[in-house]
Amino acid sequence: MADRSRDHKGWYSHLERLESVLLLGGVGSLLVSFIALGLLPALELGEEVEEATPASYQSMTAEEEHGFAVYQREGCAYCHSSFVRSTDADRQRFGPAAEAWEYQDQYPQQWGTRRIGPDLSRLAGVQSDDWHYAHLYDPRSTVPESIMPSYPWLFTEAEDGSVTPTREGTALVAYLQSLGRNMEEAGPQTDGHEDHGEAEATESENGQPNRLDQLDGREGH
Ligand code: HEC
């Protein structure tokens, strides 16, 4: 019974001290903003992605993942975006606007912020593998006015002058050929977000101009 007054104030008396109030207030605000601005949106996006993913969704193969790593290492995203913005100009030029579920296998996503070259996210099947090899080895061989750098280290040159892609080269092209495949498989119905009106959707799905026609002076591919 020595310290009755303390007992009487209860275990929480130290919480009422100014330092404690400041500390708890500070940590509490951080916690609330972490939950409200970080955790909840992430959980919600995760759910949305799960719901929106089409049944035909194909994850990246091991080779495509390897190619994705090469793509990151070579800094292709400094010049190429991988994100079709939800604007008419972008949809007409590249195809359906990007959706969150398309990026579920990619981390860190290579969205990019500059377009020195065209967006690559709807690239699957646009050119042949051989076109890509020739283009990566020497971009000027397929697009004479190209300012894209060449990537000779993705190839080996034999004595007789023949050039073959390395494993990294084939993996990179496998990755490029997978870009947009899932959106194509899923068909236009998953591109029916509220922000694309009916008319816009038909316009970009039907008479959609070929993205390649819009790059002046491009040779066949
Ligand atoms: C310095 C900027 C730059 C960098 C870095 C760059 N590119 Fe390009 N890329 C371009 C430009 C400009 C074009 C358009 C002319 C052409 O086709 O070469 C282009 C075109 C392309 C095309 C043809 C796209 C289409 O729709 O016809 C592909 C594929 C491509 N780049 C892949 C890559 C890959 C893969 C890398 C990384 C290994 C890369 N680029 C790095 C500038 C760049």
pLDDT in tens, 92-120: 999 999 999 999 999 999 999 999 999 99
Ligand 1 atom having least distance to the Cα of 76: 37
Q: What percent of the chain has pLDDT over 90?
A: 74
Average pLDDT, the chain: 85
Reported pTM = 0.79
Q: What is the pLDDT of residues 138-173, one digit of tens each?
A: 999 999 999 999 999 999 999 998 999 999 999 999
165 forms beta bridges with 155
Q: 147 in ligand 1 pocket by Cβ < 6 Å?
A: yes
Distances (CA, A) of 139 to 117, 118, 132, 143, 152: 12, 14, 9, 6, 11
Residue 142, Cβ density class (10 Å: 0-12 exposed, 13-18 middle, ≥19 buried): buried
Closest listed residue to residue 104, CA positions, set 58, 64, 35, 41: 58
pLDDT of residue 200: 42
How far is ligand 1, taken at its centre, from the CA of residue 84, in Å?
16
Query: Which pLDDT band, with edges at 50, 70 and 90, does 134 fall under?
Result: very high
Look at residue 194 in the predicted model and tell me its pLDDT.
45
Higher pLDDT, 36 or 3: 36
> Does ligand 1 lie within 6 Å of residue 171's CB atom?
no
What the block records as the tokens of 40 is 């909840």
Does the Cβ of 150 fall within 6 Å of ligand 1? no
Mark out the alpha helices in 36-152 (DSSP H runs): 40-52, 62-73, 88-94, 129-137, 139-142
Q: From the CB of 80, is ligand 1 less than 6 Å away?
A: yes
Residue with tokens 């296998």: 105
Beta strands in the chain (DSSP E): 155-157, 163-165
| Amino acid letter for position 208 | Q
Helix (H, G, I), strand (E, B) or coil at 83: coil
